[in-house]
Amino acid sequence: MAQQVLTNAFISVDGNDISDHVSQVTLNYEAETQDDTAFGDDTRSAIGGLKSWSVSITAQQDWAASQLDSIIFPLIGTTVTIILRKDSGSVSATNPNYTGTGLVVSYNPLDGAVGDLATTPITIQSAGTLSRATS
């Protein structure tokens, strides 16, 4: 396995490329666990249930016109298209594109202490299917 360093991720929220403001991104993808153990079984068993996903973003805040705050602030409580990939280059088998419709559930426009870099966490939760494309 070739190790990789994440240095150039692509993050688009509602058609806005915010990659140049993002310092950390996490895409969580999971399925609920449903217990399907029946009488007579001596070991619990489970099947996968509904899937969900979420995105956690840490961005460097920017209050300038047409920058991060003016993009994200009006999106709270709305559904947006989010696109993520590990590199801003072309979509490929080694640079898959993850796309989904998500609900922007949290954004801290002002978050930090004196002397800190102004950063802001953004959380988006699934409001539709997450897809993975390699071309």
8-60: pLDDT as tens digits:
999 999 999 999 999 999 999 999 999 999 999 999 999 999 999 999 999 99
Q: What is the pLDDT of residue 23?
A: 97
Q: What is the pLDDT of residue 2?
A: 80
Quote the pTM value. Answer: 0.90
CB 106 within 8 A of CB 121: yes
Mean of pLDDT over the chain: 96
Amino acid at 79: T
Q: What class has domain 10-32+47-133? A: mainly beta
**pLDDT surpasses 70 at 1:** no
Helix (H, G, I), strand (E, B) or coil at 42: coil
- Extents of the domains making up the chain: 10-32+47-133
